[in-house]
């Protein structure tokens, strides 16, 4: 089963239906509790997507995430990847400064899904990921995002360094997260148009992207382990962006 063409899990599939994602069919495990079955079938009927009841063992056999929750859909995990410029052109909130999250080689689909979920929570404009040596928008990512993948645009680009240059030319400040940084995220103004760079799970940011960033910032910690999981680090930084912007709006 191609992970790019399946969606697994209840929240992910319900959000895909709400977002009118093109789906060919939904497979529902026999014996699923009537309340969820009724809601799912109603949403699928309104979207024109057939629901087929199958043995749970069939879903177990073809599941990519190994946690399908009794329901899988066949179709595109996302409509498509856009470009950064397309995402900017289509953004609906013109009153808030744009915020992009640039992910340097995130390979764990659960981390990527969790980051996308946080991006939705803070109203990020979009996510930028590289085409090579990084996780794409798979069914596992869709499930880990709890459906947020439907609402957070994603650009998949061949060269992150070039995208950083484009953002800077377009008036963005770029901030990279690094444990070696002198300043903390609480000492940097994050209220304007900004691109936040999050490094990979093991190696962090590449040296090239570090040099490209306007600022490097660290998350202060008190424990013996200096680095955080990539999705946790992204959440801390993004909610600081959110906090600063809410504060700026309150006093403007």
CB 222 within 8 A of CB 187: no
Report the CATH superfamily, name and number, of domain 3-75.
Ribosomal protein L30/S12 (3.30.1330.30)
Question: CATH: 1.20.1250.20, 1.10.10.60, 3.40.1280.10, 3.20.20.70. Which one for 84-250?
Answer: 3.40.1280.10
Q: Please, which residues bridge with residue 26 across strands?
A: 51, 73
Domain ranges (residues) in the chain: 3-75, 84-250
Enumerate residues 6+ apart whose C-beta is below 8 A from 11: 143, 146, 147
Residue 76 has pLDDT above 70, yes or no: no
Which among 73-87, 128-142, 161-175 has the top mean pLDDT? Answer: 161-175
Asked if residue 224 has pLDDT above 80, the reply is no
Within a 10 A sphere around the Cβ of 57, how many other Cβ atoms?
Answer: 8
**Structure tokens that stand for 55 in this block:** 């043995």
pLDDT tens digits along 147-169:
888 889 999 888 999 999 999 99
Mean pLDDT of 8-36: 88
Cα–Cα distance measured from residue 95 to residue 92, given in angstroms and rounded to the nearest whole number = 9
Give the β-pairing of 23-29 and 71-75: antiparallel
pTM of the model: 0.74
- How far apart CA 233 and CA 1 sit, in angstroms, is 32
């Amino acid at each position: 089963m191609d992970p790019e063409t399946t969606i697994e899990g209840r929240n992910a599939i319900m959000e895909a239906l709400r977002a009118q994602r093109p789906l060919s069919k939904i497979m529902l495990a026999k014996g699923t509790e009537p309340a969820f079955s009724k809601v799912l079938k109603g949403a699928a009927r309104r979207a024109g997507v057939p629901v087929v009841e199958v043995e749970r063992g069939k879903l177990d056999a073809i599941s990519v995430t190994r946690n399908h929750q009794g329901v899988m859909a066949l179709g595109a995990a996302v409509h498509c990847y856009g470009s950064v410029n397309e995402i900017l052109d289509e953004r609906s909130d013109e009153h808030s400064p744009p915020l992009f999250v640039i992910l340097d080689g995130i390979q764990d689909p659960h981390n990527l899904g969790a980051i996308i979920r946080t991006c939705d929570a803070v109203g990020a404009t979009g996510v930028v990921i590289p085409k090579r040596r990084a996780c794409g928008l798979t069914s596992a990512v869709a499930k880990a995002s709890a459906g947020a993948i439907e609402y957070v645009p994603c650009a998949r680009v061949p060269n992150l360094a070039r995208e950083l240059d484009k953002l800077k030319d377009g008036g963005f400040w770029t901030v990279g997260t690094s444990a070696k940084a002198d300043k903390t995220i609480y000492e940097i103004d994050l209220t304007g148009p900004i691109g936040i760079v999050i490094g990979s799970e093991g190696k962090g940011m590449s040296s090239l992207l570090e040099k490209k960033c306007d600022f490097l910032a660290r998350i202060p910690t008190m424990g013996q382990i200096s680095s955080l999981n990539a999705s946790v680090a992204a959440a801390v930084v993004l909610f600081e962006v959110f906090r600063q912007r809410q504060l700026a709006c309150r006093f403007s």
